[in-house]
Structure 1
Amino acid sequence: MSSPAASPAPGAYWDGMHGDGPDSAGAVLKAVREFRGMDASMRRRTQAALAINETDLLAIRHLIRAERAGESIGPTELSARLGITSAATAKLLSRLASSGHISREPHAVDRRAQVVHVSPRAHREVKRALGGVHQRMIDVADELSVADRRAVIGFLRELGAAMTPDESSSPARPH
Protein backbone atom coordinates (compact mmCIF):
# COMPACT_ATOMS: atom_id res chain seq x y z
CA MET A 1 0.00 0.00 0.00
CA SER A 2 1.51 3.33 -0.99
CA SER A 3 1.22 6.38 1.20
CA PRO A 4 -0.07 9.68 -0.14
CA ALA A 5 2.57 12.11 -1.35
CA ALA A 6 3.76 14.51 1.31
CA SER A 7 2.55 18.07 0.97
CA PRO A 8 5.20 20.70 0.38
CA ALA A 9 6.26 22.67 3.42
CA PRO A 10 4.46 25.99 3.87
CA GLY A 11 6.06 28.61 1.65
CA ALA A 12 7.76 25.95 -0.47
CA TYR A 13 5.23 25.76 -3.30
CA TRP A 14 7.75 26.63 -6.02
CA ASP A 15 10.57 24.55 -4.50
CA GLY A 16 11.59 21.69 -6.76
CA MET A 17 9.47 22.76 -9.71
CA HIS A 18 11.26 22.69 -13.05
CA GLY A 19 14.60 21.94 -11.46
CA ASP A 20 16.36 22.91 -8.30
CA GLY A 21 18.94 25.53 -7.62
CA PRO A 22 19.36 29.27 -7.65
CA ASP A 23 18.89 29.51 -11.43
CA SER A 24 15.77 27.34 -11.70
CA ALA A 25 12.35 28.45 -12.87
CA GLY A 26 11.13 27.76 -9.34
CA ALA A 27 13.73 30.15 -7.93
CA VAL A 28 12.58 32.85 -10.36
CA LEU A 29 8.94 32.40 -9.35
CA LYS A 30 9.90 32.40 -5.67
CA ALA A 31 11.74 35.71 -6.19
CA VAL A 32 8.65 37.14 -7.92
CA ARG A 33 6.49 36.03 -4.96
CA GLU A 34 8.95 37.62 -2.51
CA PHE A 35 8.93 40.84 -4.55
CA ARG A 36 5.13 40.91 -4.52
CA GLY A 37 5.19 40.59 -0.73
CA MET A 38 7.63 43.50 -0.42
CA ASP A 39 5.51 45.55 -2.83
CA ALA A 40 2.38 44.85 -0.76
CA SER A 41 4.24 45.93 2.40
CA MET A 42 5.33 49.16 0.72
CA ARG A 43 1.74 49.89 -0.29
CA ARG A 44 0.48 49.23 3.26
CA ARG A 45 3.11 51.62 4.65
CA THR A 46 2.08 54.26 2.10
CA GLN A 47 -1.60 53.83 2.95
CA ALA A 48 -0.78 54.21 6.66
CA ALA A 49 1.37 57.31 6.00
CA LEU A 50 -1.45 58.94 4.02
CA ALA A 51 -4.18 57.59 6.35
CA ILE A 52 -6.16 56.19 3.39
CA ASN A 53 -7.27 52.78 2.18
CA GLU A 54 -6.02 50.80 -0.83
CA THR A 55 -8.66 52.04 -3.27
CA ASP A 56 -8.05 55.64 -2.22
CA LEU A 57 -4.33 55.19 -2.87
CA LEU A 58 -5.04 53.68 -6.29
CA ALA A 59 -7.30 56.62 -7.11
CA ILE A 60 -4.58 59.10 -6.13
CA ARG A 61 -2.05 57.19 -8.25
CA HIS A 62 -4.40 57.26 -11.28
CA LEU A 63 -5.00 60.98 -10.81
CA ILE A 64 -1.28 61.75 -10.51
CA ARG A 65 -0.49 59.64 -13.59
CA ALA A 66 -3.23 61.38 -15.58
CA GLU A 67 -2.03 64.78 -14.42
CA ARG A 68 1.51 63.99 -15.58
CA ALA A 69 0.11 62.93 -18.96
CA GLY A 70 -1.83 66.20 -19.24
CA GLU A 71 -5.20 64.44 -18.96
CA SER A 72 -8.23 65.56 -17.01
CA ILE A 73 -10.13 62.88 -15.14
CA GLY A 74 -13.67 63.04 -13.89
CA PRO A 75 -15.57 60.66 -11.64
CA THR A 76 -16.82 58.48 -14.53
CA GLU A 77 -13.31 57.94 -15.90
CA LEU A 78 -11.96 57.26 -12.41
CA SER A 79 -14.73 54.69 -11.84
CA ALA A 80 -13.69 52.89 -15.02
CA ARG A 81 -9.99 52.94 -14.15
CA LEU A 82 -10.64 51.62 -10.64
CA GLY A 83 -13.30 49.13 -11.73
CA ILE A 84 -15.78 50.34 -9.12
CA THR A 85 -19.35 51.62 -9.28
CA SER A 86 -20.24 55.27 -9.60
CA ALA A 87 -21.74 55.13 -6.08
CA ALA A 88 -18.45 53.78 -4.67
CA THR A 89 -16.56 56.46 -6.59
CA ALA A 90 -18.80 59.19 -5.16
CA LYS A 91 -18.05 57.96 -1.62
CA LEU A 92 -14.32 57.69 -2.40
CA LEU A 93 -14.21 61.25 -3.79
CA SER A 94 -16.11 62.61 -0.80
CA ARG A 95 -13.63 60.89 1.53
CA LEU A 96 -10.59 62.18 -0.37
CA ALA A 97 -12.03 65.70 -0.60
CA SER A 98 -12.84 65.74 3.13
CA SER A 99 -9.31 64.59 3.97
CA GLY A 100 -7.80 67.26 1.69
CA HIS A 101 -6.26 64.81 -0.80
CA ILE A 102 -8.24 65.98 -3.84
CA SER A 103 -10.23 68.91 -5.14
CA ARG A 104 -13.10 68.91 -7.62
CA GLU A 105 -14.02 71.62 -10.07
CA PRO A 106 -16.45 72.00 -12.94
CA HIS A 107 -15.20 70.85 -16.35
CA ALA A 108 -14.04 73.79 -18.49
CA VAL A 109 -16.38 72.93 -21.39
CA ASP A 110 -19.19 70.88 -19.85
CA ARG A 111 -19.96 72.73 -16.62
CA ARG A 112 -22.21 69.86 -15.46
CA ALA A 113 -19.22 67.49 -15.38
CA GLN A 114 -16.45 67.53 -12.78
CA VAL A 115 -12.68 67.28 -13.03
CA VAL A 116 -10.77 65.79 -10.11
CA HIS A 117 -7.31 67.04 -9.10
CA VAL A 118 -4.81 65.78 -6.54
CA SER A 119 -4.16 68.47 -3.95
CA PRO A 120 -0.69 69.90 -3.36
CA ARG A 121 -0.89 68.34 0.11
CA ALA A 122 -1.47 64.87 -1.36
CA HIS A 123 1.44 65.38 -3.78
CA ARG A 124 3.70 66.24 -0.82
CA GLU A 125 2.50 63.25 1.20
CA VAL A 126 2.97 60.82 -1.68
CA LYS A 127 6.42 62.22 -2.43
CA ARG A 128 7.39 61.99 1.24
CA ALA A 129 6.06 58.42 1.51
CA LEU A 130 7.35 57.08 -1.82
CA GLY A 131 9.97 59.46 -3.21
CA GLY A 132 12.97 57.65 -1.73
CA VAL A 133 11.63 54.21 -2.58
CA HIS A 134 10.88 55.19 -6.16
CA GLN A 135 14.34 56.70 -6.61
CA ARG A 136 15.99 53.52 -5.28
CA MET A 137 13.84 51.45 -7.65
CA ILE A 138 14.85 53.66 -10.59
CA ASP A 139 18.51 53.33 -9.56
CA VAL A 140 18.21 49.53 -9.60
CA ALA A 141 16.56 49.58 -13.04
CA ASP A 142 19.19 52.03 -14.34
CA GLU A 143 21.92 49.54 -13.41
CA LEU A 144 20.54 46.97 -15.87
CA SER A 145 21.89 46.74 -19.38
CA VAL A 146 19.46 47.50 -22.21
CA ALA A 147 19.33 43.77 -23.02
CA ASP A 148 18.55 42.92 -19.39
CA ARG A 149 15.83 45.57 -19.25
CA ARG A 150 14.23 44.12 -22.37
CA ALA A 151 14.45 40.63 -20.86
CA VAL A 152 12.84 41.76 -17.59
CA ILE A 153 10.08 43.66 -19.41
CA GLY A 154 9.38 40.68 -21.66
CA PHE A 155 9.39 38.26 -18.73
CA LEU A 156 7.01 40.36 -16.64
CA ARG A 157 4.62 40.84 -19.56
CA GLU A 158 4.64 37.12 -20.35
CA LEU A 159 4.17 36.26 -16.66
CA GLY A 160 1.21 38.64 -16.52
CA ALA A 161 -0.26 37.05 -19.64
CA ALA A 162 0.16 33.61 -18.04
CA MET A 163 -1.82 34.86 -15.02
CA THR A 164 -4.67 36.16 -17.17
CA PRO A 165 -7.60 33.78 -17.55
CA ASP A 166 -7.76 32.14 -20.96
CA GLU A 167 -11.27 32.00 -22.37
CA SER A 168 -10.63 28.60 -23.97
CA SER A 169 -9.53 27.02 -20.67
CA SER A 170 -12.42 28.38 -18.61
CA PRO A 171 -14.77 25.78 -17.19
CA ALA A 172 -17.86 25.31 -19.31
CA ARG A 173 -20.98 26.98 -18.02
CA PRO A 174 -23.98 24.78 -17.40
CA HIS A 175 -26.78 25.27 -19.94
Structure 2
Amino acid sequence: MMVEAGHEELAERVSRSLQALTIAEDSARARVCETLKVGVRDFAALRLLLRAHRDGAAMSPKDISQGLAISSASTTALLDRLEKGGHLHRVPHPADRRRVFIELSDKTVRSLSATVDEESSRVSRAIADLPATTAEGIIEFLDRLHAPSIG
Protein backbone atom coordinates (compact mmCIF):
# COMPACT_ATOMS: atom_id res chain seq x y z
CA MET A 1 0.00 0.00 0.00
CA MET A 2 2.88 2.37 0.66
CA VAL A 3 3.99 2.13 -2.97
CA GLU A 4 0.49 2.93 -4.21
CA ALA A 5 0.16 5.88 -1.84
CA GLY A 6 3.55 7.22 -2.93
CA HIS A 7 2.64 6.64 -6.56
CA GLU A 8 -0.64 8.52 -6.16
CA GLU A 9 1.13 11.45 -4.51
CA LEU A 10 3.72 11.53 -7.28
CA ALA A 11 0.99 11.31 -9.94
CA GLU A 12 -0.77 14.26 -8.28
CA ARG A 13 2.44 16.31 -8.28
CA VAL A 14 3.01 15.49 -11.95
CA SER A 15 -0.60 16.45 -12.74
CA ARG A 16 -0.18 19.79 -10.97
CA SER A 17 3.06 20.50 -12.83
CA LEU A 18 1.42 19.61 -16.14
CA GLN A 19 -1.51 21.88 -15.31
CA ALA A 20 0.86 24.76 -14.54
CA LEU A 21 2.72 24.10 -17.80
CA THR A 22 -0.55 24.01 -19.74
CA ILE A 23 -1.65 27.32 -18.24
CA ALA A 24 1.71 28.92 -19.08
CA GLU A 25 1.62 27.51 -22.63
CA ASP A 26 -1.97 28.68 -23.14
CA SER A 27 -0.99 32.16 -21.98
CA ALA A 28 2.05 32.27 -24.27
CA ARG A 29 -0.02 30.95 -27.20
CA ALA A 30 -2.69 33.58 -26.58
CA ARG A 31 -0.06 36.34 -26.67
CA VAL A 32 1.38 35.06 -29.95
CA CYS A 33 -2.09 34.65 -31.45
CA GLU A 34 -2.92 38.21 -30.45
CA THR A 35 0.31 39.50 -31.99
CA LEU A 36 -0.29 37.60 -35.23
CA LYS A 37 -4.02 38.35 -35.14
CA VAL A 38 -4.95 34.68 -35.58
CA GLY A 39 -6.99 32.10 -33.72
CA VAL A 40 -5.60 29.07 -31.90
CA ARG A 41 -6.34 26.63 -34.74
CA ASP A 42 -4.86 29.08 -37.25
CA PHE A 43 -1.73 29.26 -35.09
CA ALA A 44 -1.53 25.45 -35.06
CA ALA A 45 -1.65 25.49 -38.86
CA LEU A 46 1.08 28.12 -39.01
CA ARG A 47 3.31 26.02 -36.74
CA LEU A 48 2.69 22.99 -38.92
CA LEU A 49 3.64 25.02 -41.99
CA LEU A 50 6.75 26.38 -40.26
CA ARG A 51 7.91 22.86 -39.43
CA ALA A 52 7.48 21.87 -43.09
CA HIS A 53 9.24 25.06 -44.20
CA ARG A 54 12.22 24.31 -41.96
CA ASP A 55 12.32 20.72 -43.23
CA GLY A 56 12.23 21.93 -46.83
CA ALA A 57 8.94 20.11 -47.39
CA ALA A 58 5.94 21.36 -49.34
CA MET A 59 2.49 21.17 -47.77
CA SER A 60 -0.79 20.82 -49.54
CA PRO A 61 -4.19 21.73 -48.10
CA LYS A 62 -4.77 17.99 -47.64
CA ASP A 63 -1.58 17.71 -45.56
CA ILE A 64 -2.79 20.55 -43.35
CA SER A 65 -6.23 18.99 -43.04
CA GLN A 66 -4.67 15.69 -41.93
CA GLY A 67 -2.15 17.38 -39.64
CA LEU A 68 -4.86 19.28 -37.80
CA ALA A 69 -7.50 16.54 -38.07
CA ILE A 70 -10.06 18.91 -39.61
CA SER A 71 -12.30 18.68 -42.64
CA SER A 72 -11.30 19.94 -46.06
CA ALA A 73 -14.01 22.62 -45.81
CA SER A 74 -12.57 23.84 -42.49
CA THR A 75 -9.09 23.77 -43.99
CA THR A 76 -10.20 25.91 -46.93
CA ALA A 77 -11.76 28.47 -44.57
CA LEU A 78 -8.63 28.46 -42.40
CA LEU A 79 -6.34 28.95 -45.39
CA ASP A 80 -8.55 31.73 -46.75
CA ARG A 81 -8.32 33.57 -43.39
CA LEU A 82 -4.56 33.16 -43.16
CA GLU A 83 -4.04 34.20 -46.77
CA LYS A 84 -6.23 37.27 -46.27
CA GLY A 85 -4.15 38.11 -43.17
CA GLY A 86 -0.94 37.93 -45.21
CA HIS A 87 0.42 34.88 -43.40
CA LEU A 88 0.59 32.53 -46.36
CA HIS A 89 0.00 32.14 -50.04
CA ARG A 90 -1.02 29.36 -52.37
CA VAL A 91 1.58 28.27 -54.92
CA PRO A 92 0.69 26.20 -57.99
CA HIS A 93 1.96 22.63 -58.01
CA PRO A 94 4.74 22.42 -60.62
CA ALA A 95 3.42 19.22 -62.23
CA ASP A 96 -0.33 19.32 -61.57
CA ARG A 97 -2.07 22.64 -62.16
CA ARG A 98 -5.14 21.44 -60.24
CA ARG A 99 -3.15 21.23 -57.00
CA VAL A 100 -1.53 23.88 -54.85
CA PHE A 101 1.08 24.05 -52.14
CA ILE A 102 0.84 26.37 -49.16
CA GLU A 103 3.80 28.59 -48.26
CA LEU A 104 4.25 30.96 -45.35
CA SER A 105 4.98 34.61 -46.00
CA ASP A 106 8.49 35.74 -45.12
CA LYS A 107 7.14 38.00 -42.35
CA THR A 108 5.25 35.11 -40.74
CA VAL A 109 8.30 32.84 -41.01
CA ARG A 110 10.32 35.46 -39.10
CA SER A 111 7.63 36.00 -36.43
CA LEU A 112 6.98 32.30 -35.89
CA SER A 113 10.66 31.42 -35.95
CA ALA A 114 11.33 33.85 -33.12
CA THR A 115 8.55 32.25 -31.06
CA VAL A 116 9.55 28.66 -31.81
CA ASP A 117 13.25 29.36 -31.26
CA GLU A 118 12.50 31.00 -27.90
CA GLU A 119 10.45 27.95 -26.88
CA SER A 120 13.22 25.61 -28.02
CA SER A 121 15.81 27.58 -26.05
CA ARG A 122 13.63 27.43 -22.95
CA VAL A 123 13.36 23.64 -23.24
CA SER A 124 17.09 23.36 -23.86
CA ARG A 125 17.87 25.39 -20.73
CA ALA A 126 15.42 23.31 -18.68
CA ILE A 127 17.06 19.99 -19.60
CA ALA A 128 20.67 21.21 -19.76
CA ASP A 129 21.71 19.73 -16.41
CA LEU A 130 19.57 16.60 -16.58
CA PRO A 131 21.13 13.22 -17.24
CA ALA A 132 20.28 11.90 -20.72
CA THR A 133 18.33 9.02 -19.18
CA THR A 134 16.11 11.49 -17.33
CA ALA A 135 15.45 13.47 -20.50
CA GLU A 136 14.65 10.21 -22.33
CA GLY A 137 12.26 9.32 -19.50
CA ILE A 138 10.52 12.67 -19.91
CA ILE A 139 10.14 12.07 -23.65
CA GLU A 140 8.73 8.60 -23.03
CA PHE A 141 6.30 9.95 -20.43
CA LEU A 142 5.07 12.74 -22.71
CA ASP A 143 4.71 10.32 -25.63
CA ARG A 144 2.65 7.98 -23.44
CA LEU A 145 0.56 10.86 -22.17
CA HIS A 146 -0.55 12.02 -25.60
CA ALA A 147 -0.84 8.54 -27.13
CA PRO A 148 -4.41 7.72 -28.21
CA SER A 149 -4.59 4.65 -25.95
CA ILE A 150 -4.11 6.77 -22.81
CA GLY A 151 -6.98 9.20 -23.54
Q: Normalising by the residue count of structure 2, what TM-score does the alignment of the two structures yield?
A: 0.86
* 8 Å Cα contact 1:46-1:130 kept in structure 2: no
Residue in structure 2 matching 1:159, options 123, 134, 145: 145
* 8 Å Cα contact 1:49-1:129 kept in structure 2: no
Residue in structure 1 matching 2:123, options 126, 131, 137: 137
Alignment-derived partner of residue 57 in structure 1: 43
- Distance in 2 (CA, whole Å) between partners of 1:128 and 1:98 is 22
Q: CA RMSD in A?
A: 2.3
Aligned-residue offset at 1:54? 0.7
Aligned letter for 1:25? Answer: A
Alignment-derived partner of residue 74 in structure 2: 88
- Distance in 1 (CA, whole Å) between partners of 2:7 and 2:91 is 57
Residue in structure 2 matching 1:101, options 87, 92, 102: 87
Quickly say closer, same or farther: Cα 1:145–1:111, change in 2 above 3 A.
Answer: same
Q: Normalising by the residue count of structure 1, what TM-score does the alignment of the two structures yield?
A: 0.75
Write out per-residue CA displacement over residues 138-158 of structure 1, whole angstroms, 9 at most, x where no aligned residue. 221233221111111122222
- Distance in 2 (CA, whole Å) between partners of 1:140 and 1:19 is 25
Quickly say closer, same or farther: Cα 1:18–1:35, change in 2 above 3 A.
Answer: farther
Q: Does 1:126 align with 2:126?
A: no
Q: 1 or 2 for the larger relative contact order (CA 8 Å, sep ≥6)?
A: 2
Taking the TM superposition and a 5 Å limit, the aligned residue runs for 1:68-79 are 68-79=54-65
Structure 1, unaligned runs of 5 or more: 1-16, 166-175
* 8 Å Cα contact 2:88-2:102 kept in structure 1: yes
Aligned letter for 1:50? Answer: L
* 8 Å Cα contact 1:18-1:25 kept in structure 2: no
- Distance in 2 (CA, whole Å) between partners of 1:81 and 1:104 is 18
Q: Could you say which structure has the higher helix fraction?
A: 2
- Distance in 1 (CA, whole Å) between partners of 2:25 and 2:149 is 18
Alignment-derived partner of residue 5 in structure 1: none
Aligned letter for 2:97? Answer: R
Equivalenced residue count is 148
- Distance in 1 (CA, whole Å) between partners of 2:149 and 2:33 is 26
